[in-house]
């Protein structure tokens, strides 16, 4: 069976409370056997650790404060993240970044939280998983001075232009490709034609952004082969090739190769 990695899945989310085991098993049955779990804030940590404990071979917790969770109390939240980072190993810091789509109230705090967490990634020599929405240029400005040999990562849920793909490649970062690639109006297919497979990893962002034909419903990791199939069509290569390359890229990204 072909193997796949879901590099971004919030499987600890309350939307999976009733059938989490089935969801994980369904994905494993489809060949999706590794799940990277990006954190949101202090409230999601316990559930994420619990899932990782149940599936130590399959689930890997990330640690970080999500930009949409940056509020008045962000310093308190960051202190909890920092404490967790000091207590054990994590494969990456995430998800972190900036978001100007949902709420601009805490923009200054968002930038500060992102910069602080970039420093932690460098300190622990682990990659970062970036969320950026309606804030690509701003994110690049904050990231560019740090990117390089000692800081790598992925732009999760990439949905940008050819230019932004070039910028990401120049920084040595990966792009996370998910359900959006199956949406007719995304325009992502024409951008990805020219992006080398070496820079792409697969993700679902479960429970959000389900691919067609599940669009609008709850997303789950067993849908990764749908995204992979679409990518195979765009790139004009076999599904096997997508499986092999994206799995290797994901292992490289998380320093597990």
Question: Which one, 30 or 205, has the nearer CB to Ni ion?
Answer: 205
Question: Which one, 10 or 111, has the nearer CB to Ni ion?
Answer: 10
Total binding residues toward Ni ion, as defined by CB under 5 A: 1
User: At its nearest, how many Å lie between Ni ion and the CB of residue 107?
Assistant: 19
Q: DSSP state, 15? A: G
Cis status, amide bond into 207, omega within 30 of 0: yes
Radius of gyration over alpha carbons of the chain, in Å?
17
Alpha helices in 66-106, H assignment, sequence order: 74-87
User: At its nearest, how many Å lie between Ni ion and the CB of residue 87?
Assistant: 23
Query: Going by C-beta distance under 8 Å and a sequence separation of 6 or more, which residues neighbour residue 7?
Result: 36, 129, 154, 156, 176, 201, 202, 203, 250, 253, 254
User: At its nearest, how many Å lie between Ni ion and the CB of residue 40?
Assistant: 8
What whole-number distance in Å separates Cα of residue 128 and Cα of residue 66?
Answer: 12
Tokens of 82: 């920092």
Binding residues for Ni ion restricted to 205-234, rule: CB under 5 A: 205
Question: Which one, 48 or 85, has the nearer CB to Ni ion?
Answer: 48
Question: Which one, 69 or 235, has the nearer CB to Ni ion?
Answer: 69
What whole-number distance in Å separates Cα of residue 257 and Cα of residue 253?
Answer: 8
* DSSP character string of 120-148: HHHHHT--EEEEEES-HHHHHHHHTTT-B
User: At its nearest, how many Å lie between Ni ion and the CB of residue 9?
Assistant: 8
Question: Which one, 205 or 220, has the nearer CB to Ni ion?
Answer: 205
Question: Which one, 138 or 205, has the nearer CB to Ni ion?
Answer: 205
User: At its nearest, how many Å lie between Ni ion and the CB of residue 48?
Assistant: 12
Binding residues for Ni ion restricted to 12-31, rule: CB under 5 A: none
User: At its nearest, how many Å lie between Ni ion and the CB of residue 95?
Assistant: 5
* DSSP character string of 187-226: -HHHHHTTS-GGGEEE---BTS-PPTTSTTS---GGGHHH
What whole-number distance in Å separates Cα of residue 139 and Cα of residue 150?
Answer: 18
Question: Which one, 38 or 225, has the nearer CB to Ni ion?
Answer: 38
- 179 to 208: interface string for Ni ion, x by CB under 5 A: --------------------------x---
User: At its nearest, how many Å lie between Ni ion and the CB of residue 194?
Assistant: 26
Tokens of 252: 């490289």
Q: Which residues bind Ni ion (CB under 5 A)?
A: 205
């Amino acid at each position: 069976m072909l193997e796949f990695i879901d590099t971004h899945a919030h499987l600890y989310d309350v939307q999976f409370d009733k059938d989490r085991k089935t969801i994980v098993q369904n994905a494993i049955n489809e060949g999706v056997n590794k799940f990277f779990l990006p954190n949101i804030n202090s409230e999601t940590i316990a559930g994420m650790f619990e899932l990782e404990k149940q599936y130590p071979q399959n689930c890997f917790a990330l640690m970080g404060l999500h930009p949409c969770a940056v509020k008045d109390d962000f310093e308190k939240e960051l202190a909890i993240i920092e404490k967790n980072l000091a207590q054990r190993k994590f494969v990456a810091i995430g998800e972190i970044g900036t978001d100007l789509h949902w709420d601009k109230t805490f923009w200054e705090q968002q930038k500060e939280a992102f910069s602080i967490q970039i420093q932690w990634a460098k300190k622990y020599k682990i990659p970062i998983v970036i969320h950026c929405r309606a804030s690509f240029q701003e994110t690049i400005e904050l990231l560019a001075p740090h990117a390089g040999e000692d800081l790598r990562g992925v732009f999760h849920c990439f949905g940008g232009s050819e230019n932004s793909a070039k910028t990401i490649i120049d920084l040595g970062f990966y792009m996370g490709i998910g359900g959006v690639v199956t949406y007719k109006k995304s325009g992502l297919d024409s951008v990805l034609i020219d992006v080398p497979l070496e820079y792409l990893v697969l993700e679902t962002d479960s429970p959000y952004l389900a691919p067609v034909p599940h669009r609008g419903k709850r997303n789950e990791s067993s849908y990764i082969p749908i995204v992979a199939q679409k990518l195979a069509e765009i790139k004009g290569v076999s599904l096997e090739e997508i499986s092999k390359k994206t799995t290797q890229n994901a292992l490289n990204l998380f320093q597990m190769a």
